């Protein structure tokens, strides 16, 4: 069967989403690098990168709306377009979280560190890996891998809770630690949210290829 001529438009939408994914992952990676290296200039660069991600989301939404308006897509194509729009929103939010981390990195660069940043880079690695896997699942239609991403989200939540308790103890020991501890708590929460957005994309991938809505199904995730 010959390729439908508007399949190219769907391929363009997929490419736009993958481009957004790469941009969001790079933004998140650089935000953590700026924190660890106390690099204010790099943190400022991350903040500027967010404008590009916002523009990419706007362009993808416009392309998706145009496609739905002009093509009257069948159910499977419509699911792809809707999932693409929802996933682009999640990726844009990842960029926002990376920007939040970068802004806090600027603040922390002027303050002596409270402790070695062990758990935060670990959380970042987990969130970035989940985001990359979510994009791969979207391209490959790998539902088992997508479900595995949903299950890994709990590990990030647990690490976030552990870090919160540890930082709370630092505050209790010495009130001078409060500024650094609170900034680190917010950074950890941004990473936890980035992992949540990766999970959202994985859930949408499952819906795309199976038609099943799993985001509220604890049984399927278990």
Residue-wise pLDDT tens digits, 134-155:
999 998 888 889 999 998 999 9
Is 149 a member of any domain?
A: yes
**81, 138 Cβ separation under 8 angstroms:** no
**Residue 158: Cβ within 10 Å count:** 11
Per-residue DSSP letters for 8-20?
A: HHHHHHHHHHHHH
Residue-wise pLDDT tens digits, 10-51:
888 899 999 999 999 999 999 999 999 999 999 999 999 999
| Tokens found for residue 80 | 């792809």
Does pTM surpass 0.85? yes
Per-residue confidence band for 79, with pLDDT thresholds at 50, 70 and 90: confident
Is 1 a member of any domain?
A: no
**168, 181 Cβ separation under 8 angstroms:** yes
Percent of the chain with pLDDT over 90: 65
- Print the domain residue range for 177: 7-221
| Tokens found for residue 70 | 């002009």
Is 2 a member of any domain?
A: no
> Residue for token digits 């159910």?
75
Residue-wise pLDDT tens digits, 88-110:
999 999 999 999 999 999 999 99
Is 160 a member of any domain?
A: yes
Residue-wise pLDDT tens digits, 175-219:
888 999 999 999 999 999 999 999 999 999 998 887 776 665 665
CATH number at residue 83: 1.20.58.220
| Tokens found for residue 184 | 């680190």
Number of domains comprising the chain: 1
Is 119 a member of any domain?
A: yes
Report pLDDT for 214. Answer: 67
| Tokens found for residue 102 | 């970068």
Is 210 a member of any domain?
A: yes
**80, 6 Cβ separation under 8 angstroms:** no
């Amino acid at each position: 069967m010959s390729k439908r001529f508007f399949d190219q438009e769907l391929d363009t939408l997929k490419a736009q989403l993958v481009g957004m994914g790469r941009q969001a992952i790079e933004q998140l990676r650089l935000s953590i690098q700026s924190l660890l290296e106390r690099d204010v200039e790099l943190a400022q660069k991350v903040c500027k990168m967010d404008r590009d991600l916002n523009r990419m989301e706007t362009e993808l939404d416009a392309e998706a709306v145009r496609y739905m308006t002009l093509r009257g897509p069948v159910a499977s194509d419509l699911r792809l377009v809707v999932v693409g729009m929802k996933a682009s929103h999640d990726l844009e939010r990842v960029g926002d979280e990376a920007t939040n981390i970068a802004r806090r990195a600027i603040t922390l660069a002027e303050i002596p560190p409270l402790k070695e940043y062990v758990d935060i880079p670990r959380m970042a690695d987990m969130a970035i890996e989940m985001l990359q896997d979510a994009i791969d699942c979207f391209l490959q239609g790998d539902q088992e891998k997508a479900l595995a991403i949903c299950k890994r989200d709990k590990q990030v939540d647990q690490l976030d809770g552990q870090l919160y308790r540890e930082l709370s103890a630092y505050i209790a020991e010495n009130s001078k630690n409060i500024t650094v501890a609170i900034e680190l708590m917010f950074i950890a929460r941004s990473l936890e949210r980035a992992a949540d957005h990766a999970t959202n994309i994985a859930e949408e991938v499952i819906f795309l290829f199976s038609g099943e809505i799993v985001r509220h199904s604890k049984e399927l995730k278990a």
